[in-house]
Amino acid sequence: MRALARERIQMYDQRVQEAVDALVERFPELPGDEALWPAIKLAYIGLLQDHKQPECAETFYNSAACQVLHRRHYHNEFIFWRPAVATEHLEGEAPTYRCYYPLKDGLRATLREIAASFELANPWEDLARDLRNVVRALRQHFPRPMRARPSLQIQVHGALFFRNKGAYVVGRVINAHRELPFAVPILQNERGELYLDALLVGESQLLVLFSFARAYFFVDMEVPAATVSFLRLLMPRKARAEMYMAVGLAKQGKTLFYRDLHYHLRHSTDQFVEAPGIKGMVMLVFTLPSFPYVFKLMRDRFAPPKDIDHQTVKDKYLMVKLHDRVGRMADTLEYSLVALPLARFDPALVEELKRECASIIEFDGEAIVIGHVYIERRMQPLNIHVEELRRDGDEARLRAVLREYGDAIKELAGAGIFPGDMLLKNFGVTRHERVVFYDYDEIQPMSEMTFRRIPPARSYEEELSAEPYWSIGPIDVFPEQFDRFLVADPHAKEIFLAYHRDLLDPEFWKDKQARLRAGIQEDVFPYPDEVRFARPAAACRR
């Protein structure tokens, strides 16, 4: 699954390049003859009328056309700035979701019918037990006395959502005016038998499942627009652009995001300003306060002690894009030649851009054109969040977020990523108070690191030395030193170490490396352990 995920992310650009090469070879006049493009676009629109994925076809056209044309020729009549074909109520040969009516056959029989509808080849470990668990969990959300209305129905997406070790049944229960979104993960035991692991209920749990910090799903979609429309019934707060990305159509998500950005700029008046938090040595980060994203530009020169070049930073961001992010690394949108209205930039930010990023910006009339930019969901920096909780005396939330911080480091290590610079300022807190890593310039594969214990001092002079008295290689890491910089505040550090003192032990990191070498993919579920169904010890044995 991980290999397939990497291939799929890279496949789109490969297909675009093939199309561009074929176009230029067959029609060498295309790049310089603007007069051809309105007619080309018109002919292309004619091919979309019965297309099941017209929005994706338009995006593919834009990708190819923008590689053939120069940026100054991206006129709206040449490319699809707005969609030409409506996708609302677009359907394929089979319905996108199926409806089931528990009043007809009973709830348990209906759930059994849903499980059978996916025609999974593997046998079930104990389906009767799993269905009892689902019914029991469902009743907690419909406590007695709850009347089943004539409208009672269960709507289920017709295809499963696959990611990593699991597949997810996704749908909603409708009873009169009450709608309850849900997802049910299906996992396999060591014998390949299937079992239902949990019942995730409500928009908040589904938003975590479809989070921007997780790998994209694989889902069989004849009509992606119909799948996205169904998902937005369950999660109306999630942007359509993010929904397309969640189901693996990242380029379509980028297209919609860019349209959303310009639509928002047209309907707002605030200015782009530097993002709050400690300034990074590699990235200059700015944001539009009314728009929940940050824009990250590489500085022309990286201040010491940063000893990397621009290509290395790009490679790190690509590494994250292709890697399983296990809910702990923010997804990043990468754009080239982004034109934004100069009048919307705070003058101080413009001066900072001229000073720090002159090589990748240019001024074109009333626009500022950014040569290369990464865009991420805006989060509150963890150091600011911790400071606010300390100041407010919110001990419970402080403990929870510090535990999350250590869990994030451990889960990244288990997935094969060493974060490198693990300071609080390099992590963010989502609206669900999950801790997510977002500074990628020093990440490394766990397999390439050497975790060492600090050797004992051989003399009194060595013990008092201000500099390390031991040799340090370029890939050496000394976890015993982590307690000096991970959490500075004494009280917060005490809380953190109560949960995560093992992070200071080189053996913890070596064990992670050994498990990775053995091919063990650790379980990182996008839902808390307490919602998982109990299974007999024999069934759980690995």
Q: Which residues are catalytic?
A: 331
| 142: helix, strand or coil | coil
Give, as one character, the DSSP assignment of residue 124: B
Residue type, 94: A
Cα separation values, 291 from 268, 287, 404, 434, 464, Å: 9, 8, 26, 20, 51
CB 325 within 8 A of CB 213: yes
Nearest-10 crossing angle of helices 127-139, 107-117: 120
What would the DSSP string read from start to end of 346-380?
-HHHHHHHHHH-GGGEEEETTEEEEEEEEEEE--E
Contacts of 41 (CB under 8 A, 6+ apart): 61, 77, 78, 79, 80
To the nearest 10°, report the CA torsion of 465, 467, 469, 472: 170
Residue type, 352: E
Backbone torsion region of residue 487, taken as left when φ is above 0, otherwise alpha when ψ lies between -120 and 50, otherwise beta: beta
